[in-house]
Homo-oligomer: A and B are copies of this chain.
Amino acid sequence: MLYPVLVGGRWRDAIHPAGSLNAMNPETGKHLPGAYPVSTWPDIGEAVETGAAAAETLSALGPDRIAGFLEALAGTIEIRRASLVETAHLETALPAEPRLGSSEFPRLVDQLRQAARACRDRSWCRASIDTKFNIRAKYGPIGGPVVVFSPNNFPFAFNAVGGGDFAAALAAGNPVIAKANPGHPGTTRIFAECALEALTATGMPGASVQLLYHFGAEDGLRLVSHSSVGATAFTGSRASGMRLKAAADRAGKPIYLEMSSVNPVFILPGALEERAGEIAGELAGSCLLGAGQFCTKPGLIVMPENARAGEFIGRLKEGFERAEPGYVLGRKLIEALQEACIRLRKSGAEPITGGRETGGPGFRFAPTLFRVSGDIFLSSPAAFQVETFGALAVVVLSRDLDAMRRIVSVMDGQLTGSVYSHSSGNDDAAYGLIEPGLRRKVGRLLNDKMPTGVAVTPAMNHGGPFPATGHPGFTSVGLPASMLRFSALHCYDSVRPHRLPAELRDANPTGRMWRLIDGEWTQRGI
């Protein structure tokens, strides 16, 4: 008995499934009951076809209906809160409280409601009107269903159904074809049940949200490059992301990828002198949070090599050793951590603590710390920039500020970069030396702050230069900015007034929408 898939507006059995998968409880290492189908092209092809039809219908429905759906979905999800928290906890071993119930769950429903507000508000589409030429433009839906591949580490906030990419794609007027993360199919199933209920209640096309649990790699490539698909959003490993990117790129299909980042933290000499212990405490907290399974986990700490660095490392070691190891999401992560330790040792890094699986059932790995000299880092920078999920960090001890600057210059693109400096201006010259290089390498630059914790707020950028993502101009978190990924620029040249979309007519459709009219942002009509 396999769970049904959600295709074309109804739950139905998978057609010719290629196999099945079960979720795993990371706390016990045992499979959970319930088998989910591995879909083949008959399922996927039908999802594409009905998704494409839904894209046409959604265009005609307009933003209020879609916003109503997103709000209704937030409501149906709230009703299922208890079973969502319970299921997600079983499938991921993330703590039910506070993590799932009181942190990620509110974030998820808030995100859906923010998306609904952005959708109703309409300002996101950046309507631009040049009255002299009668040329008008705005962003519109991207022209087909958006495929969402979701990561393992956020069963709620980044879920392929109900998560950030989902909310952004829908709010921009596109249907979603969700590919569940195989780590939490049961959680995703509940979200999809909520979605179907909300679709029905708000009279939306049934195929606006479709769910497949899994499919083979070849079918994934075929899906993201399909002519009827609008775009793809992928959050996951660099290897899988690069394969999907190659296929989508060949077909000229937009694909947005959030792949890998080690989120360097630079501690300048004055800050180290002033508050080594405090920063070590913050860093340990940030590294260990969620068992180190965040895209923004600080994985690389760069600081001057001096006596205070020794003290800092001592405090950090203490923090790492005092912590109860959290459960990681699966056996593969344990293997990746083991491989990382071997690679780091081979590359010349020195282990400080951790580096081994803990005893007992389930998947746990002792928080792990390495140190390496700046010279060794500079001699093989790639070896130290492989993202590894889990509580693992490498401290790079830099001979001087110029070495620190060179470390920045050999860095790959990253989601974030943090700089800690003395609370007075003591470190300003050092800051000025490394900031320009770092600015080019990261999406979000932080001062005196660890990178974990990604607020869903308009100016947020959860993005960055390749290979952190596929394009440095887009963010996957932050509404309404994240919606622009799933949009095409639609220009109307001398189109008759009654045929224009409401956002581009002379009258302001909401009375409050922001539009750029003859170079001036205004809420007025023409």
Contact = CB atoms under 8 A, between A and B. Distances in A.
Interface stretch (A179-187, A361-369, A463-471): A463-471
Contact of A466 (B137, B253, B516): B253
Given A435-B499, A472-B254, A491 B455 contact: no
A143 B458 contact: no
Total identical chains: 2
Given A250-B246, A466-B253, A499-B435, A489 B443 contact: yes
Nearest to A488: B472
A459 B140 contact: no
Contacts of A499: 431, 435, 447
A440 interface: yes
A474 B489 contact: yes
A245 B249 contact: yes
Nearest to A463: B489
Chain A, interface SS category = mixed
B135 A445 contact: no
Contact of A137 (B246, B436, B459, B494): B459
B461 A59 contact: no
A489 B470 contact: no
Contacts of A521: 514, 521-522
A30 interface: no
A300 B476 CA distance: 39
A428 to B, nearest CB: 8
Interface stretch (A14-22, A72-80, A124-132): A124-132
Given A487-B473, A495-B447, A455 B514 contact: no
A445 B491 contact: yes
A418 to B, nearest CB: 9
Interface of A: 56, 59-60, 128-130, 132-133, 135-137, 139-144, 245-246, 249-254, 413, 416, 431, 435-437, 439-441, 443-449, 455, 457-461, 463, 465-467, 470-475, 481, 484, 487-496, 499, 514, 516, 519-522
Q: 10 closest Cβ contacts across the A-B interface? A: A252-B466, A521-B521, A461-B491, A472-B488, A249-B249, A143-B440, A444-B491, A137-B459, A128-B459, A446-B493
Given A59-B436, A252-B465, 5 more contacts: A431-B499, A443-B491, A445-B490, A446-B495, A472-B488
